[in-house]
Amino acid sequence: MTLEEFRKEIEKLKSSRKYLYNGSYILPALWIAEKNFSAITPEIMRTIADVLGVRLIEVEEAAEFYAMFHTKPKGKYIIRVCTNLSCMLRGGEEILEKFCDLLGISPGETTEDGLFTIEAFECMGLCDGAPAVTVNEERFLNVTPEEVPKILKKFGWKGK
Ligand code: FES
């Protein structure tokens, strides 16, 4: 998506008149950006603020506050490993470590080939399947360290 196409999408969103306050369109607009760009850049945030007629700081705050938005370039696949209480008690930290070891990166980093970003994540509401992992929209529950390479291979990892 080009920036101009993005601007048109936000204009379309705003013209839906779904909300009374223009600020209510910020999160849906950021979602569109998140889905269509590698990162939500300052230029994208300025476009959102401009089209919605809101202050740039409102857009920046929302983009920085919510963990699901990326203001730095992300990989094609975002691996989120829950490390909150239920998952931690059932080995979430170990699962995170296994992903990091195999990919050679730390939480918050992206592999050199741009394929994977790994994140330690807060509770995803999947506690009954702890430890829980998501890769983009796909969920993996009751994950064991042995399953980690299989999960990665499913998404094109060429490692051991
Ligand atoms: S604590 Fe991990 S999904 Fe809730």
For the segment 67-90, the average pLDDT, to the nearest whole number, is: 94
pLDDT recorded at residue 80: 97
Q: Is the pLDDT of residue 160 over 80?
A: no
For the segment 96-111, the average pLDDT, to the nearest whole number, is: 96
Q: How confident is the model at residue 31 (pLDDT cuts 50, 70, 90)?
A: very high
Q: Tell me how far the alpha carbon of residue 48 lies from the centroid of ligand 1, in angstroms.
A: 32
Q: How confident is the model at residue 67 (pLDDT cuts 50, 70, 90)?
A: confident
- Prediction pTM value: 0.85
Ligand 1 contact via 85 beta carbon (within 6 Å): yes
Candidates 93, 94, 124, 142: which one to mutate for ligand 1, based on the most atoms within 8 Å of Cβ?
124
Q: Is the peptide bond before 131 cis (omega within 30 degrees of 0)?
A: yes
Q: How confident is the model at residue 151 (pLDDT cuts 50, 70, 90)?
A: very high
Sorted by sequence, the CB contacts under 8 Å of residue 69 that are 6+ apart come out as 30, 33, 34, 40, 62, 63
Ligand 1 contact via 143 beta carbon (within 6 Å): no
What whole-number percentage of the chain has pLDDT above 90? 96
DSSP string, 23-73: GGGHHHHHHHHHHHSSS--HHHHHHHHHHHT--HHHHHHHHHHSTT--SS-
Separation CA 51–CA 41 (nearest Å) = 16
Candidates 81, 83, 87: which one to mutate for ligand 1, based on the most atoms within 8 Å of Cβ?
87
pLDDT recorded at residue 159: 83
Q: Is the pLDDT of residue 82 over 80?
A: yes
Ligand 1 contact via 126 beta carbon (within 6 Å): yes
pLDDT recorded at residue 9: 97
For the segment 52-65, the average pLDDT, to the nearest whole number, is: 97
Q: Across-strand partners of 77?
A: 116
Separation CA 58–CA 69 (nearest Å) = 14
What values do phi and psi take at 134, rounded to 5? -125, 145
Tell me the two tokens of residue 153: 């291979």
Q: Is the pLDDT of residue 69 over 80?
A: yes
Report which secondary-structure segment, H or E, holds 94: helix 92-103
Ligand 1 contact via 87 beta carbon (within 6 Å): yes
